[in-house]
Amino acid sequence: MRDLSAAHIEAFLEMLSAERGAAENTLQSYRRDLDDLYDFLISKKTTPLLAESKNLSAYLADLGKRAFAPSSQARRLSAMRQFYKFLYAEGLRGDDPTAVLDAPKKQRALPKNMSEADVSRLLERAALEAAEPGKDRLNRLRMLALLELLYATGMRVSELVSLPLKVLEQDGRFLMIRGKGNKERLVPLSRSSISALKAYGEAKKAKESDEEPSSWLFPSYGSAGYLPRQVFARDLKGLAARAGIKAASISPHVMRHAFASHLLAHGADLRVVQELLGHSDISTTQIYTHVLEERLRQLVETHHPLAKEAKNRD
């Protein structure tokens, strides 16, 4: 029985190599997964050729008991499905027992976030450096403007670095952003972001008085004409390190998450945050509901009369 099953697995791997051009690492991965499945099924007095859906479902449950991550379980299920499709196509089985199996649910990872204290430290450090004199002051003013705008609006980094120069001509508390799908949205600016933007704009104008002005707010000599996202991300990590914050945990995208999370923590409506972030679907914004859930829990524990009675009894 072992030789027959082994022959089926080998034939499947040969098909992957010959017909699909699978790499050696891919073949080895499939081999490990199917050998593990075989060992489990043998322990349950059956084989891959005779296994029923309930046996394969039990195998997936066993992976969970062995602390396999949902992503690893999903990979094993994918290998099983490919194998049983092969057996069915070759006439070795009259059915596909994996057809009714459900993929393990993956927990949606919560976005990395920054505390309000860390954001304050980052902005304070950027403001301190921007105030220092020196030939590189324009770049330091630029960093302060970038950070203030990012935290004030929650813009995507691609939207931020590609802002047009005409932003400096605006005289108001709102900014029009052109986002995904060429859709426009209006976002409010904080006083500190307006101030940082004005200081950067004045310094930029003074330095470029004799030059042909770029059409971008944050120009660069690169092919796109504006500051590359990677350069901003690199400089942000450097600033974070100087501010005493773990650089590996900071990125422009984390700042965007901080914007959304902090708004919700202070009572903002989820629909409002959806509009500000430029999400077309509310389900995308709902990743931040963990913030709302925690805030609601605290509200109930603080204000609900029964919660107060329970606390007094303790």
The one-letter amino acid at 305:
P
CA pair distance 247, 237, nearest whole angstrom = 5
Instruction: Give the three-state DSSP class for 226.
Output: strand
Supply the CATH classification number for the domain 2-89. Answer: 1.10.150
Q: Report the chain's terminal Cα–Cα distance, integer Å.
A: 64
Predicted confidence (pLDDT) per residue in 88-119, tens digit = 999 999 999 998 888 776 555 555 678 999 99
Q: What is the mean pLDDT of residues 199-220?
A: 87
pLDDT for the residue numbered 108:
54
Q: Is the pTM of this model over 0.75?
A: no
What is the fold of 116-299?
Answer: hpI Integrase; Chain A (1.10.443)
Element (H, E) at 56: helix 53-65
Mean pLDDT across the stretch 195-213?
87
Q: Write out the catalytic residue numbers.
A: 156, 180, 253, 256, 279, 288
Please report, as a single letter, which amino acid is at residue 302. T
Q: Which residues of 267-284 are buried (b: 16+ CB within 10 A; e: fewer)?
A: ebebeebbebbbbeeeee
Per-residue pLDDT at 179: 83
Give tens-digit pLDDT for 148-168.
999 999 999 999 999 999 998
Give 29-60 pLDDT, tens digit per residue: 999 999 999 999 999 999 988 999 999 999 99
Q: Do domains 2-89 and 116-299 have the same CATH topology?
A: no
**Number of H helices and number of E strands within the chain?**
14, 2
User: What is the C-alpha separation between 270 and 92, in angstroms, rounded?
Assistant: 54
Phi, psi (degrees; rounded to nearest 5) at 216: -105, 150
Confidence of residue 23 (pLDDT cuts 50, 70, 90): confident
Name every residue whose Cβ is closer than 8 Å to that of residue 123 and which is 6 or more positions away in sequence: 144, 147, 148, 151, 192
- Domains of the chain, residue spans: 2-89, 116-299
Q: What is the mean pLDDT of the chain?
A: 86
- Torsion sign, CA atoms 67, 69, 70, 76: negative
User: Taking a C-beta distance cutoff of 8 angstroms, is the pair 284, 260 a contact?
Assistant: no
